A and B are shown apart, each in its own frame.
Chain A
Amino acid sequence: MLLWFLRRLLQAMFVMLAMSLIVFIGLHAIGNPVDILISPEADQAERARIITQLGFDKPLWQQYAYFLQGALHGDLGRSFVFNEPALQLILQRMPATLELAVTAVLLSVLVGLPLGLFAGLYPNSFAGRAVMAGSILGFSLPGFWVGLMLIMVFAVSLGWLPSSGRGTTAALFGVQWSFLTRDGLAHLVLPALNLSLFNISLVLRLARAGVRETMPLDYIRFARAKGLSPTRVVFVHVLRNILIPVVTVVGLELGSTIAFSVVTESVFAWPGMGKLIIDSINVLDRPVIVAYLMIVVVMFVTINLVVDLLYTALDPRVRLGGRA
């Protein structure tokens, strides 16, 4: 177990190293941050001064070496735009994104799983077909369009919900959260729904497929023959066995929802990390981009770890460390 864990850690560090190198070279290929950052009003002398101050006069490998040196000491550099430590900038915005992503994923499980069970159990009913047809929309409609439509309907036309932003927040564990206040919750509804739409469809389809596959199996027939109530059969025997793919997908989707909720965040002006990263890419704010991707790598590694641990809880046949 410990060995397995250490191996995972080593892998993660290697991925981070490779990723930072790719980002450094990639950004260098896109353009020079200097050309975008430096105020157009600056004259040549001022430009030269800023270039030296930010270290852009050095060759790329040297800049990378400086970065590595700092990173080993826990310093991922300062944002060129904000003049604040990149890590701090990202962590400041993290709660907003986490809150949105977790709500969205919860929503996708709470809505998608029951619907999927239903559609799987009654595949030929009208309601079952309707659910499946609806899920196609959830898959295929582009997120930004749905977001704008939600705003148009619920904020502009009906006036029920606010159009954007985070609303009033309250502190918990020293961090500001929206879900603790009524106003904050009202602000959370539309973006969370927008973000979860795709995942609802995904979970729904996985659950349905799982149920359809599991229902004809012998142990289900046996359970029914034994005279167990349909409720017990569905919620214990079936549900537990269809959860493995659902957990895998939900885990990965949680990661990508956190990391790449850019579209929803900008449509709803949600002040999270996604907006920060897209703004940073636009101005080639390298320290922020690198730090952000580092965090994303750490996050995915952690999520995968948790998913693996969950497998063992769900399915006793799965053993960690490759010796099944």
Chain B
Amino acid sequence: MRFKGVAIGSLLMAAVPVAASNALAQNVTVAVGAAVGSIDPHYYTLTPNTSLDANVFERLVETDAQARPMPGLATSWKLVDDRTWELKLRDASFHDGTPFTAEDVAYTIARVPTVVNSPGSFAIYTRPITGVEIVDAHTIRLSTANVYPLLPTDLAQLFIIPHKLGANPTTEDFNSGKNAIGTGPYRFVSYKPGDRIELERNDGYWGTKPAWQHITYRMITNDAARTAAMLSGDVAMIDQVPTADIARLRADKGVSLWETVSLRIIYLALDQGRDGPTPFVTGPNGEILAKNPLKDLRVRQALSIAINRPAIVQRVMEGAAIPSAQFLPPGSFSYVPGLVPPPTDIAKAKALLAAAGFPNGLKITLHGSNDRYLNDAKIVQAIGQMWTRIGVQTAVETQPWSSYAGHATKLEYSVFLQGWSISSGEASNPLRALVATFDAAKGRGTVNRGRYSNPALDSLIDKAVSTADDGAREALLIQATRMAMDDVAIIPLHNQKNTWATRAGFTYVPRADEETRAYDLRPAN
């Protein structure tokens, strides 16, 4: 007995004097919920990685909090002819003191496709560039094979690294810090995989001076642990605040919440590729149907208007989303004004089903992941109940993402939950990826797992992405989005909100693209 007292007592005594204090104003700890896998800014197009990279490196074109392009390392860009962009570059310098020039841009564009073993290459953003011409140290021209108005959007994904890194800089050298040289507001100090990244203020930064001398960027992937770190004051800011903890943190006077609607759309994909029976939809008594009922617009409409989106947002998502009837949240480029979710109408849904030849309803197995999107398993369960009310007996089956993703890619499901983060912040990206006809040669419909296909929509999308004028392109994108949604190519559910929490006394600019940037964390006045 005594022994235990001594052992624990001495440990506690050792601990008490170092009680948590985050008072050193110049040192700030930020905790993120997703592990950073690499410091190499061209290794993996994954938000946790780019989020950290955005503290150290910069892009030619940056995006504001609502994902609209704004000047970054390029101060301006314009088309000199319909296939050539000219960019004027900023007077900036890298962390090691070398000035930033057009040479570095050319070097970066050449390096991106050479990164070995990349599971998500940034080459998709450099591929449209067919020619690079350095006009002078601060002017560069990029040419494309076709008219390509999305080049600035693509450049907003590409971090610039200095050309003095030489031929084939390795990912390991970025992780060790040797190559981790950018122009960003913070310089890289050290990286402990799975634990933390230390950053130091870049005093030579061209923009507004960064607020903190030293940033510790910790990875706390467990939701409860991240919230606890916030509550105990161990960290000044956390991202990905779990929806279940939002109410509690909101009530805490020592904590401020910062939220914005994200570019992530959660939707249901519907198998429209099979003409014959689809595996998980049968007649009301389990009889196999000769034709795929999901190909009937009325069935798709019935399924969509049976869903009570506001209820899902309020109850399941605890307010951390907005109901949606299209890809993008309001305020984005190519948002369709007035396209809002249809009111839930059970009688009309039943009537539509009857008109489609299913007066006694259908039997559907709805699939979803259970560890990928916020509350994904609960969302499909809620939808299952809503569909049962219109006479569609719905069974719900959820799986871990690691297993689910494979089945979904192999088109084994009939109706299933998906999420998509619209990195470009405009509608051509989801139009091309989610609802354009699957076409490997053209690189279209890459995640169109319902295999929806509409030639009229395809040609409209093609026309939009080759229209240089922003106004005209936006009009076409709006028209295309409306066409896809009227045809219920997918059933949009909601746009997630991103929530950050800081200690009181800080301000933060929440970003629609989910990036967590120490630069946007500032002391409140």
A interface, CB within 8 angstroms of B: 30-32, 35-47, 49-50, 53-54, 78, 80-84, 89, 92-93, 96, 107, 110-111, 114-115, 118, 127, 131, 148, 151-152, 155-156, 159-166, 182-183, 185-186, 189, 193, 266-269, 271, 275-276, 279, 281-284
Q: Which stretch in B1-9, B57-65, B454-462 binds the other chain?
A: B1-9
* Residue B472 at the chain A interface, CB threshold 8 Å: no
CA distance A283 to B171 in the complex (A): 20
Query: In angstroms, how far is the closest chain A Cβ from the Cβ of B372?
Result: 10
Q: Is the CB of B3 within 8 A of A163?
A: no
**Closest Cβ–Cβ distance, residue B409 to chain A (whole Å):** 5
Q: Name the CB-closest residue of B to A181.
A: B18
A249 CA to B107 CA, complexed, in Å: 59
Q: Smallest Cβ distance from B160 to chain A, in angstroms? A: 20
Query: By the criterion CB–CB under 8 Å, are A93 and B225 in contact?
Result: no
Contact A155 B234, CB 8 Å, known A39-B45, A43-B446: yes
Are A53 and B117 in touch, CB under 8 angstroms?
yes
B contact face: mostly helix, strand, loop, or mixed = mixed
Q: Does B288 contact A (CB under 8 A)?
A: no
Assess the A269–B38 pair: CB atoms within 8 A.
no
B446–A156 touching, CB < 8 Å: no
Assess whether A31 is in contact with B402, with CB atoms less than 8 Å apart.
yes
In the complex, B132 has a CB within 8 A of chain A: no
Interface string of B218-256 (1 = CB under 8 A from A): 111110111011011110000000000000000000000
B290 at the interface (CB under 8 A from A): no
Instruction: Check B221 against A266 for contact (C-beta < 8 Å).
Output: yes
In this complex, which of A47, A82, A151, A267 has the most chain B Cβ atoms within 10 angstroms of its Cβ? A82
Flag if B221 contacts A118 (CB, 8 Å): no
Partner of B194, one of A49, A267, A276: A276
Residue pairs across A and B with CB atoms within 8 Å: the count is: 206
| Given A81-B37, A84-B175, A127-B1, CB of A43 within 8 Å of CB of B124 | yes
Q: List 17 A-B contacts (CB under 8 A).
A: A35-B409, A39-B119, A42-B121, A43-B124, A44-B440, A45-B443, A54-B117, A92-B193, A151-B232, A156-B232, A163-B234, A269-B195, A269-B219, A271-B219, A279-B194, A281-B402, A282-B402
Instruction: Give the complex CA separation of A266 and B8 in angstroms.
Output: 23
Q: A30-B402, A151-B228, A186-B18 are in contact. Are A111 and B38 (CB under 8 A)?
A: no
The answer to whether B233 touches A93 (Cβ under 8 A) is no
- Whether A160 lies near B124 (C-beta < 8 A) is no
Q: Do the beta carbons of B20 and A162 come within 8 Å of each other?
A: yes
- Shortest Cβ distance from B36 into A: residue: A82
Q: Is the CB of A185 within 8 A of B193?
A: no
Residues of B within 8 A of A193 (CB): 8
Q: Which of A35, A42, A54, A275 contacts B446 (CB 8 A)?
A: A42
Residues of A within 8 A of B234 (CB): 155, 162-165
Q: Give Cα A56 to B407, complex, Å.
A: 17
